[in-house]
Amino acid sequence: MIKDGCAHVKPAAATDLSVFLLVTWSLWWQTGHEDHVGPDPPRSESNCLLRVQEVGKIRGVFVLVDEGSPLPNRVLVSLAAFFLRTWGDSDLRVLRLCSLYPSAVIFSAGKALHRGALGWKAEWLFSIIRLLRLSPALDGLEVSVALKQGQVTPTELCQRCLSLIKKTKFLNAYITVSEEVALKQAEEAEKRYKKGRSLGDLDGIPIAVKDNFSTSGIETTCASNMLKGYVPPYNATVVQKLLDQGALLMGKTNLDEFAMGSGSTDGIFGPVKNPWSYSKQYREKRKQNSHSENEDSNWLITGGSSGGSAAAVSAFTCFAALGSDTGGSTRNPAAHCGVVGLKPSYGLVSRHGLIPLVNSMDVPGILTRCVDDAATVLGILAGHDPKDSTTIQDPVKPFTLPSLTDVSKLCIGIPKEYLTPELSSEVHSLWSKAANLFESEGAKVIEVSLPHTSYSIVCYHVLCTSEVASNMARFDGLEYGHRCDSSVSTEAMYAATRREGFNDVVRGRILSGNFFLLKENYENYFVKAQKVRRLIANDFVNVFNSGVDVLLTPTTLSEAVPYTEFIKEDNRTRSAQDDIFTQAVNMAGLPAVSVPMALSTQGLPIGLQFIGRAFCDQQLLTVAKWFEKQVQFPVIQLQELMDDCSSVFENEKLASVSLK
């Protein structure tokens, strides 16, 4: 019975409920409904009513949403895909979906229940709402809202992420899982929420940290035998800032040894596997192309060196992760794993506690599932640190991003030197489409020149290896780290320690750097490379001074490649190829962010890079946020996430409803 705009209901037996699909109601008639079963729904002003006689002709669960939903499109898309696969009905197709927040109508097994303005009184419905708000596929800020509203607790959120870490262990994303630490932190966060004393947007939010950041009481290895077993007595500044805001440390993520690589394949704990290797999107494309039937054959690399952090975020095991970026090590894996990867301006974020690779280029990076989350984390991390003399002295304002609606005043630069022969046709096509998108919205898009780009790879190699040689000299086996037992001589102990402690890649870079720093080579190599670096930096200054607001470039040459293909070339060659669009940004000290744009024909993520003026990180992220909103990158359909959701649904005691 419908009375005063509301359907009055009473519970029925639980066995009557047949839930197999979630579909949002608000966009049903906006996107065309020629494929649905049953007559067209009415178009009342409130969009809240469905005639009872029409409900009986439609099977499934339909939910009307409101505009203020905390759940993004991709969460419902993933859940709907799972339900359709599990309880699929050939007579019903999934239409376009939007965010899920049950605020008006639920239909189940042909029976309707209408929620009025006063909200539900049916207790079982809240369990569904609560579960969906618990979904790890949410963004960090969305979960923060749910925490503050009491829809989920930090402990529940922590346990959900720990469960997914165990289920996705095969990805090898984590070196150390700090389960006890995280649960204790969650317990403390829960006490704060109960007292109404939340520390901020990250309080109770699970995060992960790349294993080259010092963490007090937790092993920090840099994925190297040299530091295996090393437990720092202090936290890196960025780690401490996150913990001070109540973040939950889930663990330390995998990487290339000492962050030297672009594949996350060269650490002592083994390579990291890209979650998209096991996604429904990629698996379906592989079947179409008649690839091997072996489910785990020819898996994809994540990119590097922050591949573990990117995989951890992509696989929903945390909501944000720290990486490091010396030549693209945050942006490269972000592009391959379909997440946002931010390299802040050099000097904006402290490097204290980040085990150094190249002091003049190292920057802590941020990996998240959306631009807003990256901005939130950056706002916490940015600022002066007396323990890092390179950090800026000026106070930093909060990085709250405005909703940019008008891009007509923007000038977007397209570097002509970045159109290289090695660039894949798909990346080139998406790059062009992105430029056209800005142009169609009124932005000025112009071709610009960075004339010294062709020298960046060689210049980077000289400077990088020189600083590596200097930094790695500290690992001598005396004060900390691995030490070889040798009683022959001190020199023999040094040599054996470094031979056992470093892999071939690290030793090779040390040898190259020592060569460039020899007295007879210093002027011809190192000094000249520094001069070229200045020219490269000036190229960017000239472009931005000409009126360009943001540069738009590819992040990588192509989508992620299979591991077997990646290892055909040596580490140095692969790194030079994969970082061609990202290295120069580090040498210039500029902010840059990789944003996922679309899936390739193989069902794999492709990201594009935005580069901004030095210390104009907020403007850069505002533009990136606008772009992210326009492209609506799809969520990864990972079976482990769906299994995690379904197990909770199966355990819920749901009661169906009937109309009288």
All domains in the chain, ordered by first residue: 2-137+643-659 (no CATH), 140-419+537-634 (3.90.1300.10)
- Asked if residue 95 has pLDDT above 80, the reply is no
Is 287 among the catalytic positions?
A: no
pLDDT at 367: 99
Q: Worst-scoring range by mean pLDDT, 137-146, 191-200, 504-513?
A: 137-146
pLDDT at 339: 98
Q: Tokens for 328?
A: 């693209």
Query: Any residues with CB less than 8 A from the CB of 242 and at least 6 apart, and which?
Result: 202, 207, 249, 322, 377, 380, 381
Residue recorded with tokens 């992105």: 434
- Asked if residue 141 has pLDDT above 80, the reply is yes
- Given the residues 26, 111, 144, 210, select the one marked as catalytic: 210
Query: Which residue from 313, 321, 205, 311 is spatially nearest to 267, judged by alpha carbons?
Result: 311
End-to-end CA distance of the chain: 5
Query: Any residues with CB less than 8 A from the CB of 403 and at least 6 apart, and which?
Result: 625
pLDDT at 294: 53
- Given the residues 277, 305, 314, 466, select the one marked as catalytic: 305
List strand residue ranges (DSSP E) for 479-591, in order.
550-554
Give the global pTM: 0.81
- Given the residues 99, 277, 324, 329, select the one marked as catalytic: 329
Is 10 among the catalytic positions?
A: no
The percentage of the chain sitting over the pLDDT mark of 90, rounded to a whole number, equals: 63
Q: Worst-scoring range by mean pLDDT, 234-248, 272-286, 328-342?
A: 272-286
pLDDT at 485: 80
Cα radius of gyration (the chain): 26
Is 409 among the catalytic positions?
A: no
For residues 182-203, b (16+ Cβ closer than 10 Å) or e, as one string? Answer: beebbeebbeebeeeebbebbb
What is the rounded average pLDDT of the residues 552-567? Answer: 96
- Asked if residue 175 has pLDDT above 50, the reply is yes
- Asked if residue 146 has pLDDT above 90, the reply is no
Query: Any residues with CB less than 8 A from the CB of 49 and at least 6 apart, and which?
Result: 2, 5, 42, 105, 114
Q: Whole-angstrom Cα distance, residue 210 to residue 178?
A: 13
The string of pLDDT tens digits covering residues 613-636 is 999 999 999 999 999 999 989 888
pLDDT at 122: 33
Selected residue with higher pLDDT from 646 and 326:
326
- Asked if residue 104 has pLDDT above 90, the reply is no
What is the rounded average pLDDT of the residues 234-255? Answer: 99
The string of pLDDT tens digits covering residues 285-309 is 887 664 454 556 689 999 999 999 9
> Would you list the DSSP string of 163-184?
HHHHHTGGG--EEEE-HHHHHH
Provide the H-helix boundaries in 32-72: 52-55
Q: Worst-scoring range by mean pLDDT, 112-126, 191-205, 510-524, 602-616?
A: 112-126
Average pLDDT in the chain: 80
